Amino acid sequence: MLLIAAVTVVWIPLVLLADGSASIELQRLLGAATWLLLIGLLWGERRSVRIQVGAVIVAATMLEYSASPLLGLYTYRLHNVPSFVPPGHGLVYLAALTSAGAMKANRLDVWFPRLVLVVAAGWALWGITLSSRSDTGGALLYLFLAAFILRGRSPLVYAAAFVVTAYLEIIGTHVGNWAWAGHDFIGVTTLGNPPSGIAGGYCFLDMVGIYVATRLATAHPHVPEVVVEPAVEAA
């Protein structure tokens, strides 16, 4: 399980560094390579995992084209949505999912989500008090992250998603692959680069993946491998 997380941790900076000054042709090659890597990692996974990853990629791609070119929340270096981004979302979700499974097997399911909440809270607090760039939007997103971790039935997945997405966002914005706008598209909240609680947004994508697999399990109860828990408990 941890092999997938390790591969993702290595692959993310390799792609982002290569894309830092890449032409559109090289960017497309990076996208093709990322698709091949994701397919290879999914080859031995259960059907439920492949369905979840596919659902996340579809939802994330729709979100990317809405949030970046349409709403201008963030802008990629070439003012497009790089071809490695959709499969990259799949890698992030797969890494979070498999890391959560490994941590649960090693009885880390209690303290790790709590540690993530504390670290993320510190980042959010820094963003609204000490940062040179105000980040009220990041603090708001942190509240969503906390809700998913505290109320969700998959807190380890959401906690792992925070680690992977924070890693991804810090590298990507530092290298210059993309940059966040100074405020949201309606001008209510300010945003850091990256926003401190951005993993709260990714958690909605995680929820989509788990929800789709749950619905499939309901529609096909004779296929045991697609049975997963709902993403969030009913209020």
Identify the CA nearest to 162 among candidates 182, 142, 176, 178: 142
Distance linking the first and last C-alpha atoms of the chain? 32
Confidence (pLDDT) at 169: 96
In sequence order, the 6+-apart residues with CB closer than 8 A to the CB of 57 are 86, 87, 89, 90
Residue position matching structure tokens 């408990």 = 233
Confidence (pLDDT) at 224: 46
Confidence (pLDDT) at 235: 26
Q: What is the mean pLDDT of each run of 10 residues along the chain (235 residues)?
A: 87 96 96 97 88 90 93 96 96 92 79 94 96 95 93 88 94 96 92 93 79 65 44 33
Q: What ranges make up the beta strands (E) of the chain?
A: 74-76, 178-180
Confidence (pLDDT) at 230: 35
Q: What is the C-alpha separation between 150 and 130, in angstroms, rounded?
A: 27
Confidence (pLDDT) at 217: 59
Residue position matching structure tokens 């996340």 = 56
Identify the CA nearest to 30 among candidates 3, 43, 56, 11: 11
223 DSSP assignment: -
Would you kindly state where each structural domain of the chain is located, as residue ranges? Answer: 2-226
Point out which residues pair with 40 in neighbouring strands. Answer: none
How does 92-107 read in b/e, with b if 16+ C-beta sit within 10 Å? bbbbbbbbbbbbeeee
